[in-house]
Amino acid sequence: MSTTLITNIGELTTNVEQGGDPCGTLRDAAVLIADGRVAWVGRAADAPSAARVAQAHAGARDSPESGASVRVSTVGAEQMTTVDAAGRAVIPGFVDSHTHLVFGGDRADEFEARMSGTPYAAGGIRRTVAATRAASDDELRARLAGFVAEMAAQGTTTFEVKTGYGLTVADEERAARIAAEVTDEVTFLGAHVVPAEHADDRETYVDLVCGEMLDAVAPHAKWIDVFCERGAFTADESRRVLEAGAARGLGLRVHGNQLGHGEGVTLAVAAGAASVDHCTYLDDADVAALAASDTVATLLPGVEFSTRQPYPDARRLIDAGVTVALASDCNPGSSFTSSMPLMVALAVREMGMTPAEAVWASTAGGARALRRDDVGVIAPGARADLVLLDAPTRVHLAYRPGVPLVHTVWRGGEIL
């Protein structure tokens, strides 16, 4: 078994709450990784003795993989790699709990029109549906691989992928199957919009989503989602979709309250959904319902950046005791970015979050939205997903927006 000690960490964000600090911040810290898991976390001076022996007897060399100072030695039958963080900050890998990465085509013209004053509407999704249906499996797979590499380079180590741009049985099944090649967090979103061929027969399409389409996609999926919004699906239609997914053993997610006040949050909380995403327009009852539930409010600031809608009021939610996550909503129509560092910066600048809250929401919060406890934290037993920043503190993610601050990324203890 190989082990890695990351030491001389100037600021370590563990997300293990201590002393009133949800980020569990440690200074002058170290992390020991063994067999892809976090084995130990603490002060660098207290690192396990085997690691200190490895440091003492190894010769230093530059690592071509990470660019950090690395020492390699053998202690018994175990190889110990030591990475000197040189006072940099380390955070958990980002957990992006809301993406739409399997699609064809491009909608840059819509973005340009919005920047000239045209309002965003859900109907543009049908353009991507047409392009996705026309794309081959290999074309979709190659594009998805590009997005996955793009996300990894920016520190994302766990991500969800939705279907929703096929909207036929065959196209939704292939989207889920292709997504499952790169993530365990696949969401069936057949209820994204009603496709053009069913525009005059909504009930038949909802029947299809709840029946044959769900049957085809469920073997590849972990979650089911529905866009409960004007221009998409009503609350009654959305409830049917969620009930059908739950009956097949899928976890529940909801797109809600994006374009105006609606029933998405109420529906999500009543159904016990893991997450309700967007939450741009909330009344006091919505906030109270979220605060009294374990449904995560997943905020998607990339959408507001791209559509010029009002940003969600994260401060209001956090102060009310709601669990908040941040995600990219990477998609071609309303948020064509995969950058979780950008989400952190936007949340701090536009949504009333502190840098610590934004980093927590984009790591531990995303994990909560996926009901995961093995990612989004740096704690013994967790998967060793870590991001070494080329900065002394996590604050720099918001302080230096747009600057590539991700120095090294580990996923499952391996450098990406």
Radius of gyration of the chain (CA): 22
pLDDT at 394: 98
User: Is 198 marked as binding a ligand?
Assistant: no
Residue type, 117: G
Query: What CATH superfamily classification does 94-369 receive?
Result: Metal-dependent hydrolases (3.20.20.140)
pLDDT at 159: 98
User: Is 165 marked as binding a ligand?
Assistant: yes
Q: What stretches in the chain show pLDDT beneath 50?
A: 51-77
Q: Where are the domains of the chain?
A: 3-92+378-415, 94-369
Q: What is the tens place of the pLDDT at every residue in 356-391?
A: 999 999 999 999 999 999 999 999 999 999 999 999
User: Is 258 marked as binding a ligand?
Assistant: yes
Q: What is the tens place of the pLDDT at every residue in 251-282?
A: 999 999 999 999 999 999 999 999 999 999 99
pTM, rounded to two decimals: 0.93
**3-92+378-415, CATH topology level:** Urease, subunit C; domain 1 (2.30.40)
pLDDT at 157: 98
User: Is 15 marked as binding a ligand?
Assistant: no
User: Is 261 marked as binding a ligand?
Assistant: no
User: Is 334 marked as binding a ligand?
Assistant: yes
Q: How far, in Å, CA of 223 to CA of 214, rounded? A: 11
User: Is 372 marked as binding a ligand?
Assistant: no
pLDDT at 57: 40
Half-sphere CA count of 325, side-chain side, radius 13 A: 31
User: Is 333 marked as binding a ligand?
Assistant: yes
Return the closest-CA partner of residue 69 out of 55, 84, 57, 56: 84
User: Is 278 marked as binding a ligand?
Assistant: no
Q: What is the tens place of the pLDDT at every residue in 110-132?
A: 999 989 888 876 668 889 999 99
